[in-house]
Amino acid sequence: MDTQMLIGSKFEKGTETEEPILNPKTGATILNLPEASPAQIEAAVAAAERAFVSWSRTTPAQRSGYLLKIADRIEAEAKEFAALEALNCGK
């Protein structure tokens, strides 16, 4: 599973210690998730602040279009998300 973070306009892997994500029922590791470094967090916040300026100038129709594209991407991966969440909940 891809665990990269979107920071600004690029994807990158967390550079801090990997955090094991465990199935609460079995204790088995589902995946190891690399955590973001303080520098990556600062970069993400700065990118979000920069993006807010242009985002707030878009029309509701433009925002809707962007959000629908995101929804389409989530929907395309729905089975994988559902399987992962089931494991995360101990199912």
CB 12: neighbour CB atoms within 10 A? Answer: 15
Using the predicted structure, report yes or no on whether residue 38 has a pLDDT greater than 90.
Answer: yes
32-57 average pLDDT score: 96
**Percentage above 70 pLDDT, the chain:** 100
pTM of the model: 0.74
Q: What is the band of 43 on the pLDDT scale with cuts at 50, 70, 90?
A: very high
Residue 2 has what pLDDT? Answer: 83
Arithmetic mean of pLDDT over the chain: 94
Integer Cα distance of 37 and 16 in angstroms: 5
Sign of the alpha-carbon torsion through 74, 78, 82, 88 = negative
Q: Hey, what are 91's tokens?
A: 């199912």
